[in-house]
Amino acid sequence: MKYTKSVEKWGVFELSCEGSSSGNPFTDHHITATFESGHERKTVAGFYDGDGVYKVRFMPSHEGIYHFNVTGNFSGESYCGEFTVTPPAPGNHGPVGVCRTFHFAYADGTPYYPFGTTCYVWELQSDELISQTLHTLKRSPFNKIRFCVFPKSYCYNSREPRSYPYEGTPVDGKSVNEDNVWDFGPGSEGNNWDFSRFNPEYFRHIEKCILELQQLGTEADIILFHPYDRWGFSTMNKEQNELYLQYVASRFSAYRNIWWSFANEYDFIGSKTEADWERFAEIICESDPYHHLRSIHNGVKFYDHSRPWITHCSIQRSPEGTTDWRGQYGKPIVLDEMQYEGNIPFAWGNISAQELVRRHWEALCRGGYGGHGETYVGENLWWAHGGELKGESPARIAFMRQILEAAPAGGLKPKAMEWDEICVVPEDETAEKESGYHLFYYGIHRPAFRWYHIDDENRYSVEVIDTWNMTITKIGEFAGRFRVDLPGREYMALRVKKCDSLFEFCKRNCPA
Amino acid sequence: MKYTKSVEKWGVFELSCEGSSSGNPFTDHHITATFESGHERKTVAGFYDGDGVYKVRFMPSHEGIYHFNVTGNFSGESYCGEFTVTPPAPGNHGPVGVCRTFHFAYADGTPYYPFGTTCYVWELQSDELISQTLHTLKRSPFNKIRFCVFPKSYCYNSREPRSYPYEGTPVDGKSVNEDNVWDFGPGSEGNNWDFSRFNPEYFRHIEKCILELQQLGTEADIILFHPYDRWGFSTMNKEQNELYLQYVASRFSAYRNIWWSFANEYDFIGSKTEADWERFAEIICESDPYHHLRSIHNGVKFYDHSRPWITHCSIQRSPEGTTDWRGQYGKPIVLDEMQYEGNIPFAWGNISAQELVRRHWEALCRGGYGGHGETYVGENLWWAHGGELKGESPARIAFMRQILEAAPAGGLKPKAMEWDEICVVPEDETAEKESGYHLFYYGIHRPAFRWYHIDDENRYSVEVIDTWNMTITKIGEFAGRFRVDLPGREYMALRVKKCDSLFEFCKRNCPA
């Protein structure tokens, strides 16, 4: 038995034991460990990692001494031990969870505002391209990335993966037609997989990528199933799917930065029924003892996001419905797909940077969170492979992230809506009252001026924000009813913050 | 009795007679004439024009000799006479009517494609401003203008009119708040009108304006009622409204370029019920013997456009529903309000030129017709007063009009719709087949290329149209399946026309 004697809080404690290689170790043998400290007790399933090695991973949520006991038929021996959990290193805030109904926070209470992007199979590319993606992410505003466990076969995303998740051999199926959105490749006939035997190297590599994301402070929004397949991974049977989910849960759950996305475009996966999805959710809920965030992303038709296992709504659609969806589901609204900046011949991948940035602001100013993707015709499409970003939206999304991070902590809620103006205030009522913070957004509308009247008790500082040109211009400080002149351009916002009570202001400035 | 001995076809024949000034000539006396030629026979009500003069106007639809008889209690004498109808002068195509269900044509068969604008009370401004408006219209793409008979009291549209439609005196009510869309002025108390006595000069002036529009080839889309009122013209009683409609019909109907718009924003006029509108329609149908086009424009809620008296749908809304409305009502779809280019602090008047032009193309490429308006803050707002145009959309609308006029005659019908591509072909099936004409529009979407396959029998010429930069670039001539490279910018269109049959092409170019 090998294990680390010390691990930071929310780090990965890993123990590994030699065990039997006989039969099919993935299905015939099991390993389980129970972890206990003064504060928690968890029983966690381990997994077979190949070469006669069994592993159990655990993410401790408390500092101090932990004891563990290992059981299972993987070996004749029995094991136990202890280790020390140290304070989290700087930058380690724990896993992200839902906070204040519509928002997110890390386990240590630090707010987390999702700024997601999508690179479906970035982790299945060459080392060089992976390292370029990480380099790009580090300089980007994105703190969440959606990607698939299984390789993807689709227009502009047709490469063979660097390796395969199962033992066996694929057919050569590279003949995807790049101009046809419905061409998933030649079909899965001819592939020869043993769906009961995983390729541990494939998953070790994904784990390395998850850890590298973690070092960047990026959440890994892991897509478990998707329809775009020429290998047969989307049409495995019930038992094969369950084995896969248990294996993935036992390998990935201890990484604090993972989220479970049950599907990309679940409604385009003809081979699975609602009962299947519900069963998959059961397995993940049972197998992930840390209850990482769980969602299921639509193509067209929403899944029933009111299901209790769904922690937040992961939505593909334009963000105009955000406020309604908040009301309908009472959960955070994350618009992971709002169409992508790019120029491919498909509607979902050829909008302008201006339009994608507008949709981000619409999402934010209706009380939700937008998501990014980029699809410019070329060798590597960010949305598929990662690599480098070419577009103009990331800089503006970074600017928007600064605005949100400078707002009172805890996220924003919709306050009012006009045809040509939407407005958010802090979700937290105390913060709302204390800050007097209002963020107005005008979208494509271009009023030359606007009258406002927040209240008669306070003075407010008012700034005009040009969300495209990324400027913030202070207009002045006002009390009562006041007029704001605006530049008469598209994509403007207005930030209003309480700067003083009138009482205090008068005490300082008025003659006695 | 005075009258012109000769008038062109679809011109205005006018006869005027001295008559009684006793009592109230507008209500106590009437004048009617019957006109007859070999081809038509019409009985037409005349009107009192003040100073003891009664008039009857008639628009002949046929060339040749017409006889007329005048009757009525306006005078003790009886009159008859004859006149000659000559061929129409160049540019006189007669009144516009519906043609091919969804489109329009002049009475002589020339297609009419509406390119409308809105200047609600341009005709009630100073002579100088009116003449500036006409000068602007002459250089514009607009061949239809919406305006009100009654003055308007609203933000950015609060001037007193040059005169008043009734005998009496107004209160001074200029105190409209320009920043408040719901301020119609001080209410109608204090106005002192005799709603049974018209001011003929007021109507003579409007007729002069109608004729000036006619000389420019511009249709006068006359708004009979609207809600934005501080004089009391929107709250007259049943008898007063009926008298008004009869008077207006007897004065205006003989002008070939008028259309009847029963209301602007009928649903915002609280004083009138559906039964009222239906009764008004009855009166106009009875009193206008030429059956000029009739519509009723919504604020939010559509009137039931399937009513038989409604000739076309005059709609306020974004044009995405155009194809559905065609199917629902089986009438031409004219989007007279799609929000206006401008920068006033109201959603309906602060969109960009790009967006207004995009909406025009959306309307066209879904089988309808868009409408223009301009609301830039300043002394004269085009939408209210006319004057000069400041915006960037008219030049692009002119460009679009050229495209439509170069298409096979008779209008376009929707053929196919994708998320990021809409397509129209000629409404007329023969024209569709013969021309092979297709107009594709991509809106905000920016595909870098596209594959097309029209058929295998013909060769097609293909042009890329930049609807904003107003360029047309020939890409080539193609047969079978072909790829079109596009510039990857917003607001692109593609024009495809049959240039040759493959058979003819081969006969000319292939070795024997």
**A403 has which bridge partners?**
none
* A446 inside 8 A of chain B by CB: yes
The CA distance from A37 to A35, in Å, is: 7
**A476 has which bridge partners?**
A462
- φ/ψ of A465, rounded to 5, equals -110, 125
Q: Are B373 and B117 in contact (CB under 8 A)?
A: yes
- Stated as kind and residue range, the H or E segment containing A440 is strand A438-441
**B155 and B171 co-located in one domain:** yes
Q: Are A156 and A373 in contact (CB under 8 A)?
A: no
**A319 and A463 co-located in one domain:** no
Task: Kindly provide the residue ranges of all beta strands, DSSP E only, lying in B351-437, ordered along the sequence.
Answer: 369-372, 374-375, 412-418, 421-426
**B219 and B314 co-located in one domain:** yes
Place of tokens 């490429």: B365
**A384 and A418 co-located in one domain:** no
* A352 inside 8 A of chain B by CB: yes
HEC readout, B330-344 = CCCEEEEECCCEECC
Select from B345, B377, B445 the Cβ nearest to the Cβ of A351. Answer: B445
Domain count, chain A: 3
Give pLDDT, residue A501: 82
For A240-252, write each residue's pLDDT tens digit: 999 999 999 999 9
**Does any domain span residue B91?**
no
Whether the per-residue pLDDT at A173 is higher than 80: the answer is no
Decide: helix, strand or coil at residue B363.
helix
**A349 and A473 co-located in one domain:** no
Please say which residue of A375, A406, A437 terminates a domain.
A406
**Does any domain span residue A259?**
yes
**B323 and B381 co-located in one domain:** yes
Select from A352, A447, A449 the Cβ nearest to the Cβ of B446. Answer: A352
A381, A382, A383, A386 alpha-carbon torsion, rounded to 10°: 110
* B344 inside 8 A of chain A by CB: yes
**Does any domain span residue A93?**
no
For A279-297, write each residue's pLDDT tens digit: 999 999 999 999 999 999 9
**B221 and B243 co-located in one domain:** yes
Question: What's the residue count for chain B?
Answer: 512
Region at B72 (left for phi over 0; alpha for psi -120 to 50; beta for the rest): left
How many helices, marked H, and strands, marked E, lie in chain B?
Answer: 11, 32
- Stated as kind and residue range, the H or E segment containing B112 is strand B111-112
Q: Are A161 and A124 in contact (CB under 8 A)?
A: yes
Q: Are B372 and B393 in contact (CB under 8 A)?
A: yes
> Are A488 and B346 within 8 A, CB to CB?
no
- Stretches in chain B below the pLDDT threshold 70: 173-175, 512
Give pLDDT, residue A77: 87
**B62 and B125 co-located in one domain:** no
> Are A179 and B451 within 8 A, CB to CB?
yes
The CA distance from A38 to A192, in Å, is: 49
Name the residue range of residue A68's domain: 2-86
**Does any domain span residue B350?**
yes
**Pairing state of beta strands A481-485 and A449-453?**
antiparallel
- φ/ψ of A387, rounded to 5, equals 105, -125
Record the tokens describing residue A197, joined without a space.
């035997």
Whether the per-residue pLDDT at A382 is higher than 70: the answer is yes
For A135-145, write each residue's pLDDT tens digit: 999 999 999 99
Give pLDDT, residue A177: 79
CA distance to partner chain B, nearest, from residue A467 (Å): 16
Select from B343, B377, B447 the Cβ nearest to the Cβ of A344. Answer: B447
The CA distance from B218 to B209, in Å, is: 11
For B450, residues 6+ apart whose C-beta sits below 8 A from its C-beta are: A345, B421, B483, B484, B486, B494
**Does any domain span residue B161?**
yes
HEC readout, A315-340 = EECCHHHHHHHHHHHCCCEEEEECCC
Strand order, beta sheet including B96-99: B96-99, B103-106, B111-112
Give pLDDT, residue A174: 65
For residue A65, how many other CB atoms are within 10 A of its CB? 11
Please say which residue of B64, B86, B108 terminates a domain.
B86
CB contacts of A421 in chain B (<8 Å) are: 347
Record the tokens describing residue A162, joined without a space.
């660097």
The CA distance from B338 to B349, in Å, is: 9
> Is 0.90 exceeded by the ipTM?
no
Centroid of chain to Cα B298: 15
Give pLDDT, residue B173: 63
**B233 and B334 co-located in one domain:** yes
The enclosing domain of A352 has a CATH number of 3.20.20.80
CA distance to partner chain B, nearest, from residue A402 (Å): 28
pTM: 0.92
What single DSSP character describes residue B157? B
Select from B350, B483, B488 the Cβ nearest to the Cβ of A420. Answer: B350
